[in-house]
Chains A and B, each alone.
Chain A
Amino acid sequence: MKQKIIDILNEIRPEFDFSKETDFIEQGMLDSFDIVSLVSSLDEEFGISIDGLDILPENFSSIESIFALLKKNGAKIV
Chain B
Amino acid sequence: MNLIFRNKKITGLLTVLPKNEIKFEDEMDNYNFSVAQSLKLKKIMGYGSHRIVESGVTISDLCIYGLNYLFDQKLLKKEDIDAIVLVTQSPDYILPPTSNVIQGKLGLKKDMICLDINQGCAGYEIGLFQSFMLLDQPDINKVVLLNADVLSQKVSKRDRSNNPLIGDAASVTILEKSEKDQTIYANVKMDGSSFDTVIIPAGGFKTPSTSSTAEMKEDAEGNFRSLDQLCANGDKIFNFVQREVPPMVESLLEKAGITKGDVDYFMFHQPNKFTLTKLADKLQIPHEKVPSNILEFFGNSNGVSVPTSISFNLGDRLTKESLLICLAGFGVGLTWASLILRMEHLTFTEIIYF
Contact = CB atoms under 8 A, between A and B. Distances in A.
B41 A37 contact: yes
A33 B239 contact: no
B282 A51 contact: yes
Contact of A37 (B37, B235, B238, B241): B37
A53 B239 CA distance: 6
A57 B40 CA distance: 20
B235 A32 contact: yes
A53 B221 contact: no
A39 B238 CA distance: 13
B221 A32 contact: yes
Contact of A53 (B37, B44, B243): B243
A56 interface: yes
A35 B270 CA distance: 20
B281 interface: yes
Nearest to B234: A32
Given A53-B242, A55-B238, A36 B278 contact: no
A12 B282 CA distance: 25
Interface residues of A, number: 15
Nearest to B241: A52
Nearest to A35: B235
A49 interface: yes
A63 to B, nearest CB: 21
Given A36-B274, A40-B274, A56-B239, A49 B41 contact: no
A70 B40 CA distance: 21
A55 B40 contact: no
B279 interface: yes
Contacts of B195: none
B84 interface: no
B33 interface: yes
A54 to B, nearest CB: 9
B44 A37 contact: yes
B242 A52 contact: yes
Given A37-B40, A40-B44, A49-B278, A55 B33 contact: no
A31 interface: yes
Interface in B253-302: 274-275, 277-279, 281-282
A37 B38 CA distance: 10
Contacts of B45: 36
Chain B contact surface mostly: helix
- Of the listed residues B33, B44, B221, B239, the one surrounded by the most CB atoms of chain A closer than 10 A to its CB is B44
Interface residues of B, number: 22
A52 B238 contact: yes
A33 B282 contact: no
B279 A52 contact: yes
Contacts of B277: 49
A33 B220 CA distance: 13
B75 to A, nearest CB: 40
A17 to B, nearest CB: 18
Interface in A43-68: 49, 51-53, 55-57
A38 B234 CA distance: 16
- Of the listed residues A32, A39, A56, the one surrounded by the most CB atoms of chain B closer than 10 A to its CB is A32
Given A36-B274, A52-B242, A31 B37 contact: no
Interface in B24-66: 33, 37, 40-41, 44-45
A49 B241 CA distance: 16
Contacts of A51: 242, 278, 281-282
21 contacts: A12-B37, A12-B40, A31-B221, A32-B221, A32-B235, A33-B37, A33-B221, A36-B41, A36-B44, A37-B40, A39-B274, A40-B274, A51-B242, A51-B278, A51-B281, A52-B242, A53-B239, A53-B243, A53-B282, A56-B239, A57-B235
